[in-house]
Structure 1
Amino acid sequence: MPETLGIIGNVSRRKTSNTKVDPLLFSDEAKELARQALVEIGDDLVGEHIGVSISGEVAVHRFRSLAPGYKSWEWVAVLACVRGSGAITVNEVSLQAGKNAARAPEWIPYEDRVLPGDLGPGDTLPPRADDDRLCQFKELTTAHNFPRNPRARTILSQMGLEQTLKRWRTGEFGPNSEFAAKAAMMCRTCAFYLPFNDVETHFGVCTNEYSADGHVVHETYGCGAHSETKAVPETQTNRHYGAFDDGAFDDISEEICRDR
């Protein structure tokens, strides 16, 4: 028998007397074997021994994890031994989350993680198989004054159009945006506003390079660059402070110098 068996007497009989677990699995020999098994996969990321517990007929040794990004995780080695055989077997090694471990957020499928603006040059983003924004032309019941692309195999559905109009209305170029609230005139009367197909769509594109050029704008959106904007007379932009003669300061300065 190995010399390390001499410490078995220190193992609480309350832990082992009613189980089939050999007390050898709680020895320093078992702890060192568990560490060696974990070092093979975790190298110098295996910290100090933090506990051992019984699970059925095996002992589970736990070591603190020193792996970056795995705060409060634990290296685990499961050891087994036929009672009285003196032979310890490593059944399993793993890195597991401890009670207060930092965990990764719940997995979100890729198609649900992509946000507007994530698409970059060279990226591909195929539509979902169940994308409600698309439909066959025969499924469309009304166009709401927005023509669909006749060269596309599928077209924008009614739901897709409604979602689009909602984004445009509530976006930065919609009727309730800050620019629109402070504008004196609306896009509907601006020469730089190009309505979509029909004025009843209430949306169009701005062509003013100094404003919302190229953006879809609501007809009640507005800015300070409306085509009918008039130049403000200079008299209205300059405050009148009146003439100010600073010559008196020179006279005072000369008197002070003479007095000194």
Structure 2
Amino acid sequence: MATVSTQPSRTEPTAVGAIDAARKALVEEVGRADVGAHLGHLVEGEPGGTVVTHLFACQRAGYVGWHWSVTLAQIPGEAPTVDEVVLIPGDEAIVAPAWVPYRDRIEPGDLSPGDLLPVSDEDPRLVPTYSFGDDPLDADAKAQVRQVAEDLGLGRVRTLSVEGLDLAAQRWYAGLAGPAAPIAQAAPHHCYSCGFLLRISGSLSAGFGVCANGDANDDGRVVSMDHGCGAHSEVRLAKKHEPLPLPEPVVDDLTTDLLEAF
């Protein structure tokens, strides 16, 4: 385990006290203007020798919180030699965010025509259809799909697992088609009583449907039963919202008398 010290001891190896040699090597590598005060050293023992890393403050613009690391290697009886000079971040350094794999950065709407997004064979959202059925809550459908897949090789290879169904339900319910959406909060009625709601089958049928109102924002999309919008089939305008009747014309230019005058 490496140890950190700011003051070399009289009994420590020569490499620990070789601060000037480490600074000289660093200045030759990066220039004097970028090198600050000595911050301490790390001692790491190796069989038959010693490796010591000296740390110096970094004065380079844009690298606040970084420091220079100069590693010296020493064989007993020999003068220490420079192993490497690197710039490393400290606890307060500004560094790039942690790498996130491309597959985990994909969000809905990122795919363009021609893009492919393969699903892993170990994806927990999917299970083999022959072992789970097309609907985990429908025993008859499960048996039927299993039989078809086994005898004829037809049907889907995989279907949603319980985890996949739960994730979909949570995502839809918390999204713009759920009850917390601003348009739903201001709606006079909920989707479950709307004539434009198409029922879906399966275990999610009690909580979700598909909007079939071409005038609604959610047309063709899955909506929760307690979602809503102003395009509900039973919406009626209050009298104060109805258009005002047109006043009587001052001159009725649609009468036959006026036409004959011309």
Q: Following TM superposition, by how much is the alpha carbon of 1:186 offset from its aligned partner in structure 2, in angstroms?
A: 3.1
The code of the aligned residue for 1:127 comes to V
Mean Cα deviation higher: 165-174 or 61-70 = 61-70
Q: Following TM superposition, by how much is the alpha carbon of 1:59 offset from its aligned partner in structure 2, in angstroms?
A: 5.0
Q: Matched residue of 1:75: which SS?
A: strand
Q: Following TM superposition, by how much is the alpha carbon of 1:70 offset from its aligned partner in structure 2, in angstroms?
A: 4.1
Supply the distance in 2 between the matched residues of 1:155 and 1:89 (Cα, whole angstroms). Answer: 63
Structure with the bigger percentage of helix: 1
The answer to whether residue 200 in structure 2 is matched with residue 206 in structure 1 is no
The code of the aligned residue for 1:232 comes to A
1:104-146 residue CA offsets vs partner (Å, 9 max, x unmatched): 55555555x436437332554333443211011122264447x
2:156 maps to what in 1? 152
2:175 maps to what in 1? 171
1:78 maps to what in 2? 71
Q: What's the % identity of the aligned pairs?
A: 29
Q: Matched residue of 1:76: which SS?
A: strand
Q: Contact 1:21–1:58 (CA<8 Å) still a contact in 2? A: no
Match of 1:117 among 86, 104, 108: 108
The code of the aligned residue for 1:48 comes to G
Count of equivalent residues? 217
The answer to whether residue 35 in structure 2 is matched with residue 47 in structure 1 is yes
1:126 maps to what in 2? 118
Q: Contact 1:174–1:221 (CA<8 Å) still a contact in 2? A: yes
Q: Following TM superposition, by how much is the alpha carbon of 1:161 offset from its aligned partner in structure 2, in angstroms?
A: 1.6
Q: Contact 2:15–2:52 (CA<8 Å) still a contact in 1? A: no
Question: Which one has the largest radius of gyration?
Answer: 1
Q: Contact 2:38–2:57 (CA<8 Å) still a contact in 1? A: yes
Relative to the length of structure 2, the TM-score reads: 0.61
Q: Matched residue of 1:201: which SS?
A: coil
1:24–1:64: structure 2 CA closer, same or farther, 3 Å change rule?
Answer: closer
Q: Contact 2:129–2:156 (CA<8 Å) still a contact in 1? A: no
Supply the distance in 2 between the matched residues of 1:195 and 1:133 (Cα, whole angstroms). Answer: 23
Instruction: Please show how residues 1-260 of structure 1 align to structure 2 within 5 Å.
Output: 15=8, 17-21=10-14, 25-27=18-20, 30-36=22-28, 38-39=29-30, 46-51=34-39, 53=41, 55=43, 57=50, 59-66=52-59, 70-80=63-73, 89-105=81-97, 111=103, 113-114=104-105, 116-117=107-108, 119-121=110-112, 123-140=115-132, 142-144=135-137, 151-175=155-179, 177-197=181-201, 201-202=205-206, 203-211=208-216, 212-234=218-240
Q: Matched residue of 2:164: which SS?
A: helix
The code of the aligned residue for 1:95 comes to L
Supply the distance in 1 between the matched residues of 2:16 and 2:129 (Cα, whole angstroms). Answer: 75
1:204-256 residue CA offsets vs partner (Å, 9 max, x unmatched): 21122332212211234322212232343357788xxxxxxxxxxxxxxxxxx
1:97–1:200: structure 2 CA closer, same or farther, 3 Å change rule?
Answer: closer
Gaps of 5+ in 2: 1-6, 146-153, 245-262
Root mean square deviation of aligned Cα: 4.1
Q: Matched residue of 1:35: which SS?
A: helix
1:153–1:109: structure 2 CA closer, same or farther, 3 Å change rule?
Answer: same
Q: Matched residue of 1:204: which SS?
A: strand
Supply the distance in 1 between the matched residues of 2:35 and 2:180 (Cα, whole angstroms). Answer: 58
1:189-211 residue CA offsets vs partner (Å, 9 max, x unmatched): 43322222489813221122332
Mean Cα deviation higher: 17-26 or 133-142 = 17-26
